[in-house]
Amino acid sequence: MESIQATKQRFGIIGNDPKLNRAVEKAIQVAPTDISVLVTGESGVGKESIPKIIHALSHRKHHKYIAVNCGAIPEGTIDSELFGHEKGSFTGATATRNGYFEVADGGTIFLDEVGELPLPTQVRLLRVLENGEFLKVGSSKLQKTDVRIVAATNVKMVEAIEKGKFREDLYYRLSTVDINLPPLRERSEDIHLLFRKFASDFAQKYKMPTVRLDDPAISALLQYRWSGNIRQLRNVAEQISVLETNRSIDYKTLRGYLPDMGSNLPAVIGSKKSESDFSNEREILYKVLFDMQRDVNDLKKLTMELMNSTNTSEVKDENSTLINKIYSKDNNHEEQLAAIVEDDYANESTDVEVLRISEAQEQKSNSYDFAEEIEEEENLSLHEKELELIKKSLEKYKGKRKDAADELGISERTLYRKIKQYNL
């Protein structure tokens, strides 16, 4: 079996990161078999190297190796590209065409960006994986092929399956062996090594001296997140090699080639909620608001009946159901609302509603206190008690209606109406 180091040298793979070495080792181990392999990793990490290793070290190495970018082929023609078509099977099919699975019989097909395949094509591919059978577009003749499939994707397949964009059975057939390539930001010891290799290659290509980085520039190179991974690093090395006349690159010069160098904060991935989640929470919020508004109206009605009745016991008996509902511990609107307000989406759209609810709750709470005082002092006239409270509040705040209204738990307009009513 070929060694890891020899394989990396043979296929131009640079780096000594343990995760990278493990990925190459798995490719070497699985190469002599015919099982399907799924290569995963972010865009630009070099996933295309793994299927080349697998094919070159397999017994299929003397047959064809075909790489297909599934994301670059239009949905309407991808079945024809992969499986071929018969003459006249669709508009523009002027001749019979052999697809990749027929041409690569006995060899290897690399399906890059397999997560972009449309669902009907996924069904056809599953049949090939299961028994090696396929149908050309427009043909009823079953054909056989002996092809090894190596697929690659930067899509999170579990999420794609949950959203119904990728078949679960096809995923498990493709990922008999899963080989993951780490992103460049997790291979910090390899970043400068790769940059030096790219800089040397471009110096030979463009016949100019090799660019070199000073120590601060090297530190910046290692700290950068490299969202485009090796592909982005290669592009930066080429730009600097071509555009800079000074072959010694300092931190300031390098920073000009690194977008958003000053904002390399860790990205929060996968925390955004879907629109359906937001819609459900909005419906819950509306329900809580309506329920609370109804409770406030019921409380106002009960309070008015108590104030206008001379027999408070009779009023309490008639409205016992309402009173129990309002004072019940099961009425947990506050807890429901708090849970929703803490949500990110609620913060964007419900600030005004939350403020209004807080005011309504304060008025409701003060109304509870007022109602309890009325029940305790049944022998005292309600009008006299209300008048006394208003007078005390106005005296306390030296006639300032706003402060007095806040203490009484009523609006300033209501207090003004009461002042006129009692001729204060």
CATH number of the CATH domain containing 250: 1.10.8.60
Band the pLDDT of 370: cuts 50, 70, 90.
Answer: very low
Question: Tell me: the pLDDT tens digits for 54-89?
Answer: 999 999 999 999 999 999 999 889 999 999 999 988
The lowest-confidence range among 201-205, 249-253, 366-370, 408-412 is 366-370
Can you give the pLDDT at residue 308? 65
Question: Tell me: the pLDDT tens digits for 300-334?
Answer: 776 766 666 666 666 566 666 656 655 554 455 55
Domain holding 127, by residue range, is: 4-182
Can you give the pLDDT at residue 332? 52
> Which of 182, 209, 232 is at the close of a domain?
182
Q: Are residues 163 and 217 in the same domain?
A: no
pTM: predicted TM-score of the whole model, two decimal places: 0.62
The verdict on residue 421 lying in a domain is: no
- Number of domains, the chain: 3
Mean of pLDDT values over 255-261: 86
The verdict on residue 130 lying in a domain is: yes
Q: CB 394: neighbour CB atoms within 10 A? A: 20
CA-only gyration radius of the chain, Å: 37
Question: Tell me: the pLDDT tens digits for 95-145?
Answer: 999 999 999 999 999 999 999 999 999 999 999 999 999 999 999 999 999
> Which of 233, 263, 293 is at the close of a domain?
263
Q: Are residues 165 and 193 in the same domain?
A: no
Q: Are residues 339 and 210 in the same domain?
A: no
